[in-house]
Every structure is written in structure tokens, then in C-alpha cells.
Amino acid sequence: MTLPDMTLPAMPRLFRSLILAGSLALLSALPGSATQPRASAPAAQPDRAGFQAFLNRLWPDAQKQGITRQTFDLAFRGVTPDGSIVALTRKQSEFVRPIWSYIDSAISASRMERGRAAAEQYAGTLAALERKYGVDRRVVLGVWGMETNFGSFTGDKDVIRSLATLAFKRYRDDFFRDELLVALRILQDGHVERSAMRGSWAGAMGQTQFMPSSFMKYAVDGNGDGARDIWGTIPDALASTANYLASFGWESGVPWGVEVRLPERFNLAGAMGMHDFGKWSEAGLTRIGGGALPRKGQAMLYLPAGIRGPALLVTENYRVIKKYNSSDAYALGVAHLGDRLLGGAAFQAGWPRNEKRLTMDEVKHVQRKLVAMGLPVGKVDGRIGEISRDSVRKAQAKLGLPADGYPDHALLARLKKAP
């Protein structure tokens, strides 16, 4: 699961372009993934004395939150900083892949085979969760598949050690320190044995990779045995995921999105914002594969690879998926995987696989130029999120380029000429 309100480039899943806390199975399946450290970047050596001082400072705060000394000592017995994790935090910006690579990996033959078996085995559970929480079973299934490949790899890191290492190094300020304290509370309350508390290098745990704080807020008992076991009880993990998505406002009966065909000479510059599906129909957009557009909900036009790739109308439910992980690649992977597993069609439009993409530095240059034009980008980080995408579209319209929100070499060239 994604780390709340953080923007990283592709990580334990390669999302937020692989974001911090998950998609471990997908990441390990990709060539050159962050799970394969380079010989030229050895792991940092642990600072044992400094780490012990960190634990000494942590204890009073843990004690204030009701953690006993026995639990604290059990949690940190034999724990030292993990140098390999420190190395990973320095490498994430190197792993930025085109969105179609994520989609290809999401629906790989092996993942589809395993996912179909899981969908059949847990069909009753998924249907019951859909009735209870109103969340489309396809999306719950998609999250499970993207996070851990349906439980085949839930992470092999000691969660306490991972969180303690990141907290000790003050990676992302106090975020991991806070998560570490919550992890101690999970142990204190007896939700999981110390030895079973394993997960991603960023501390995400279980079948669908919850951070400790998300576990405490959203984990539920899915099978009625009185426990919230996201590690070994699949109904609990799936129910917790459905509860998480419902808590962020999933609207029942509304799809995450649909692939559409744009009419000729469609005015992309005038197609910003959320609108009723009926308005999009009036504008000439038609559903690929036939049939009417949905009647319920609003959607915005999203061109994940620009005008030369698929055109999608995505709803607020798509944004809810991004609450799990803020990467568009991740959200689209979850949505498409879930659809395909339950009989949905592949994207009909092709991807611009042979076009040269902008490098991260070139995207940063585009973002700086947009800022100079008075257009917001959020953060100049070489990644295009919704804020940057809207500003790209405005710049493209102003420069007479197709306003598809996808930064390419044509836009870069025009911006370089701008004062």
C-alpha cells in the first residue's frame, strides 16, 4: 500500500511509480528492479551506537502509548539497522517505467493464471464483501493481485527492523517513526506474533500490504473468528481492503472507468474536469466495444500515454484506488487486472511503445517551465501527477499542441524556446 501523501517514483511495487510499501510481487518480476542491488552501490554499514541511542529516545514515547517494556524489548531484541534498506531509499528515482510496462506486468500470463484460480476459490467471499461494503469485487481482487500476487509473496523483511531503520535515518521525517510506534501497539495488542510480522522494506504487511497505521484504522475481521489477521487469513485481508476503499468514498454501482473513442477533431483543450457521462456522450465520445456509457457517476478524460494511446473516462472511484497508492500506473494496473480476471476486455487502443519518452530530468525541465508560466505542478520531481498533467494540458493548448496532458519531446522543444 502506498505511503500516505508521499510522492516516490516506482517502488516496492514500482508505483507512485512503484511506491514505498508494496506491489512486491510485481516489482520482483520486473527486470532491473529495486530488489536487485547493484554491486557499485554497497549497503551502508549500520551505526549500532547511534541506533541504540535512537531506541533509548524512542522508549519514553512508546511507554506513553501503553507499550510495556517487555513488548519493547521483545520487538528490538537483536535488531540492528538494515543497510540494504538505506541503499534502496537512495535508488528509487532510477526506476521510472512507461505505464504500459506496469500494465504488461500486471496482466502477465502467470499472474492471470494465479488470479483466476484465486477469483474462483474466493468468489463467495468477494461477492459477500461487495454486498457489505459496496466496493467492486474486481478492484479488491486487483489490489490483492498487484500487492502480493494473490499472497504468493507478502514480503520477507522484518517489519520492525525495516521501520526502525527508516525511522532512525529520519527518512520522510517522522512518518516511519510514527508507523514504528503503531507497529509496537500491534504487537502489544497481540494481533500478530513477533516472528510473523514480516513484509516489505517499507513496513507494509499482509496479503494486501497494509502499513501499521492502516491496519489499526481499517483492518477488520472478515471470517468472524474475532481476529484481524491480514497475514494468514485471506477473508480478513480482503475484507480489510474493501473496508479501506469504502472508507475513502467508493461509490457503489459506478465503474472505475471505461475506454472510449474520441470523435475526430475533438477539442482536448476544452475537455478538462469531471462531468456526467451524459455530457461526454453529448460531446461525441463513444464506448469502445459498443454499448452506452454508464448512466451513474461523473468522469474525467484521462489519456495515460497521450493522444496516441488509450483514451479513458475515469471516475471518482479511480481516485479512490489511488488512495491505496497514488501512482496512476498502480491504479490503472489494479483496475485493469481486476477487470481482466473477471472477463473484461483488454485495452483496445495500442500504446506508443516505440516513441522515445522524456527522461526524468527532461520532465523536471518541463515542470520548471510550467512553474515559470504560472502553472502549478505540485512538486518538481520528474513525475507527472494530476496537478502537473492539467498544467501540461494548459501549456499544450497555449502552444498549439494537442492538449492531451502527456509531456513529450514536442512540448519540451517548444518550452525550451519560450522565454
Residue 143 CA to residue 126 CA, distance in Å, equals 12
Query: From first to last of its 419 residues, what are the pLDDT tens digits of the chain?
Result: 644 433 333 333 333 333 444 444 444 333 333 333 333 444 455 688 999 999 999 999 999 999 999 999 999 999 999 989 978 776 544 346 899 999 999 999 999 999 999 999 999 999 999 999 999 999 999 999 999 999 999 999 999 999 999 999 999 899 999 999 999 999 999 999 999 999 999 999 999 999 999 999 999 999 999 999 999 999 999 999 999 999 999 999 999 999 999 999 999 999 999 999 999 999 999 999 889 999 999 999 999 999 999 999 999 999 999 999 999 999 999 999 999 999 999 999 999 999 999 999 999 999 999 999 999 999 998 989 999 999 999 999 999 999 999 999 999 999 999 87
Burial label for 75, CB within 10 Å (0-12, 13-18, 19+), is buried
CB burial of residue 412 (10 Å; 0-12, 13-18, 19+): middle
Separation in Å, CA 221 to CA 165, 238, 275, 321: 30, 10, 37, 22
The pTM score is 0.88
Q: Torsions phi, psi of 6, nearest 5?
A: -125, 150
pLDDT at 124: 98
Residue 212 CA to residue 192 CA, distance in Å, equals 12
> Is-contact 388 395, C-beta < 8 A?
no
**Grid coordinates in use for 9?**
517514483
Q: How many CB atoms lie within 10 A of CB 49?
A: 8
**Cβ proximity of 46 and 83 under 8 Å:** yes
Residue 9: Cβ within 10 Å count: 23
What is the spatial distance between Cα 20 and Cα 11, in angstroms, rounded to a whole number? 5
| pLDDT attached to residue 419 | 76
